[in-house]
Amino acid sequence: MIRRYSLKGRRYSEANTRIAAPAMAPSRLRMPPTTIRYVTGAKGQLLEEHVPQGREALTPYASLQPEVSSFDAYVESIVERCRKIGEFGAPLIKENAKLLTHCNAGALATVDYGTALAPMRLAHDRGVSFFVWVDETRPRLQGSKLTAWELLNEGIDHAVIADNAAGHYFQRGEVDLVITGADRIVANGDFANKIGTYGKALLAKEHGVPFYVAAPLSTFDFSKKSGALIPIEERGEDEVTLIGAERLAPSGSRARNPAFDVTPARLVAGFITEVGILKADELKRVMSARLRAAASKPRAPLPVGRRGKTRR
C-alpha cells in the first residue's frame, strides 16, 4: 500500500510545496533523517538518507515540529479533498467496467488518494471489480512508471498500453469510462493536461464513452476565459529523440515536445471535484462561491503610523 502512511513516507509534489510554503515558518522545511521519498532540496537534489553536510544537511526532526505540523495540516487538507473526489467519482465505476487513464494523477502526484485515481481506489475498496488501461504517456512515461506502479500496489487489475493503442481498444468496445487529472481548468471548462489527453477525449467522444476530469477546486483558474490563453510548456528535444542514453531518431533530426495540450469543455462529461461532479456550464457557480468566500474572510487591520494615522 502506498497511501494512508506517515509523514515520513509522504512525497510532497513541488506544486503543493510551493502553495504550502507561505503558511509555514520562514525557514526552509527540513525532513527527518529517515525520509528518502522523492523530496527535493533547495538546489533540486534528491534528499536521501545520506546527504551532504553543511547547508543541505538535514536537521534533527525534533527541531522541525512547528514547521512539520503546519505542513502536515496542509497535506491533510489535500488528503481530505482527494478523498471527497473519490467519494463522488467512485459510483461512476460499475462492476466489470473497463477504464482508461492518462499520465499520473495518483498518490505520487498529490497525497494518499490522488485525483484521477481516487475514484478507482474507493471503488476498489468497496469491492467493485474493474480493469484499467494505463496509457504509457510518452515521452516521460508517467503512466507506465508511476500510475501502473500505484495500481499494482493497490491490487487493481490493469495493463499498460502504448499511447497509440488506445483507439484500438475504443473501437473494440473495450473502454467504458475515461478519468484523467488536470493541470489547469479555465473559466469556460477547457482544461490543460499532459500531452495526449486531447486525443483521448476525441476518441471518447467519437465512441460515446464518458470522459471525466478529476481535480480539486484549486485547479480552476477563472482569470482565463478559454483554453487558448493557457501557456503550453515546450520541453527539450532529447525527451523525444532519446530513451535513457539510447538515441532513437537519426542524428540531425529535430523534435518538438509540448508537455501539455488543451481539451475543450465540449468533450468533458463532468469535472469530479471535492464538492461534487460539475458540468462545464456550472463552473460559474464555483467562481461565484470562491468570490463570496474571499469576501467573507476577515481582513487584517491596516498598520497604524506613529501619529495614530492609518498607513495605506
- pLDDT tens digit sequence for 129-187: 999 999 999 999 999 999 999 999 999 999 999 999 999 999 999 999 999 999 999 99
Q: Which of 163, 183, 190, 261 is catalytic?
A: 183
Catalytic: 183? Answer: yes
**Strand ranges of the sheet holding 130-135, from the earlier edge strand across to the other edge:** 158-161, 130-135, 97-101, 177-180, 211-214, 270-273, 276-278
Tally of CB atoms within 10 A around 103: 26
pLDDT computed for residue 108 by the predictor: 81
Of 98, 77, 107, which is closest to residue 1 (Cα–Cα)?
A: 107
- pLDDT tens digit sequence for 195-248: 999 999 999 999 999 999 999 998 999 999 999 999 999 999 999 999 888 999
Domains of the chain: 7-78 (no CATH), 88-296 (3.40.50.10470)
In the predicted model, is pLDDT for residue 114 greater than 60? yes
Cell of 18: 510551493
Exposure string over 187-220, b if 16+ CB within 10 A, otherwise e: bbbbbbbbbbbbbbbbbbbeeebebbbbbbbebb
pLDDT computed for residue 94 by the predictor: 98
Please report, as a single letter, which amino acid is at residue 160: V
pLDDT computed for residue 294 by the predictor: 65
Q: Residues with Cβ < 8 Å from 128, sequence gap 6 or more? A: 90, 93, 94, 95
What is the pLDDT confidence band of residue 64, given thresholds at 50, 70 and 90?
very low
What is the pLDDT confidence band of residue 77, given thresholds at 50, 70 and 90?
confident
In the predicted model, is pLDDT for residue 111 greater than 90? no
First CA to last CA distance, the chain: 53
Percent of the chain with pLDDT over 70: 70
What is the pLDDT confidence band of residue 34, given thresholds at 50, 70 and 90?
very low
Inter-residue contact 266 to 284 (CB < 8 Å)? no
Q: Residues with Cβ < 8 Å from 182, sequence gap 6 or more? A: 115, 191, 192, 193, 213, 214, 215, 219, 271
- pLDDT tens digit sequence for 267-295: 999 999 999 999 998 887 777 776 676 66
pLDDT computed for residue 126 by the predictor: 97
In the predicted model, is pLDDT for residue 13 greater than 70? no
pLDDT computed for residue 7 by the predictor: 34
CA dist 295 and 57 (Å) reads 43
Interior CA angle at 76 toward 70 and 81, to 5°? 135
Prediction pTM value: 0.75
How does the average pLDDT of the chain come out, rounded? 79
For residues 28-36, average pLDDT: 34
pLDDT computed for residue 5 by the predictor: 35
pLDDT computed for residue 75 by the predictor: 79
For residues 108-112, average pLDDT: 79
For cell 508511476, the residue is 146
HEC assignment per residue over the chain: CCCCCCHHHCCCCHHHHHHHHHHCCCCCCCCCCCCCCCCECCCCCECCCCCCCCCCCCCCHHHHHHHHHHHHHHHHHHHHHHHHHHHHHHHHCCCCEEEEECCCCCCCCCCCCCCCCHHHHHHHHCCCCEEEEEECCCCCCHHHHHHHHHHHHHCCCEEEECHHHHHHHHHCCCCCEEEECCCEEECCCCEEEECCHHHHHHHHHHCCCCEEEECCHHHEECCCCCHHHCCCCECCCHHHHEECCEECCCCCCCCCCECEEEECHHHCCEEEECCEEECHHHHHHHHHHHHHHHHHCCCCCCCECCCCCECC
CA dist 195 and 157 (Å) reads 25
In the predicted model, is pLDDT for residue 310 greater than 90? no
What is the pLDDT confidence band of residue 304, given thresholds at 50, 70 and 90?
very low
